[in-house]
Chains A and B, each alone.
Chain A
Amino acid sequence: EDQVTQSPEALRLQEGESSSLNCSYTVSGLRGLFWYRQDPGKGPEFLFTLYSAGEEKEKERLKATLTKKESFLHITAPKPEDSATYLCAVQAMTTDSWGKLQFGAGTQVVVTP
């Protein structure tokens, strides 16, 4: 069974204090790994898709990387507006899963001024 595990569950950072979030996955053939940001009571906001090991993508203070077993989301010099829950999801290659995303439980990030 496909599994996605995110760590830590929660992270409290000072403004400017860089850190990394981890997403470990087991899937029967990875088609893609996705990162989303979710604010309380709102829909997940798409951030990145990673397709193959070694791939990296950046957007403002966020950088996502992928290996064969895990992905990291690096937050560089975070600001209070980066406070959110960050969700990782995988899409498997099996034909019966089609576009289904399997989500992790998320990492809740709080950035204080």
Chain B
Amino acid sequence: DSGVTQTPKHLITATGQRVTLRCSPRSGDLSVYWYQQSLDQGLQFLIQYYNGEERAKGNILERFSAQQFPDLHSELNLSSLELGDSALYFCASSRRGTGDMYEQYFGPGTRLTVT
């Protein structure tokens, strides 16, 4: 158990809908990362927040957005869902992340299925 929690574990929804994925980092970790894992793309970095502020963006679609709240939990919002958005979504956390090398610990993931 990494200490990172994610809810829900599974999500099934229809095309065009909007969903919210939630992540709670390990106690004491200030940085939260979101990754998408699909069979054909592997693990892809989406976005990073550090202590409430966005710090880095990867290949995140405009239909996707995220935020980190004062209690440091984070939410990833996915809207206008398409079949191709079906994937495993992982959250990771680290002590810092402002360019320093701190290990990222991953949560169990949310499996999103868009029908």
Chain A residues engaging chain B, CB cutoff 8 angstroms: 31-32, 34, 36, 41-46, 49, 51, 87, 89, 91, 93, 95-106
Contact = CB atoms under 8 A, between A and B. Distances in A.
Contacts of B92: 43
Nearest to A102: B45
Contacts, number: 75
A45 B4 CA distance: 11
B101 A31 contact: yes
Nearest to B31: A99
Interface of B is mostly: strand
Interface in B20-56: 31, 33, 42-45, 48, 50, 55-56
B103 A95 contact: no
Interface of A is mostly: loop
A99 B2 contact: no
A99 B55 contact: yes
A98 B101 contact: no
B16 interface: no
Contacts of B106: 36, 43-46
A40 B58 CA distance: 24
Nearest to B42: A105
B13 interface: no
Interface in B44-91: 44-45, 48, 50, 55-56, 58, 88, 90
B4 to A, nearest CB: 8
A34 B103 contact: yes
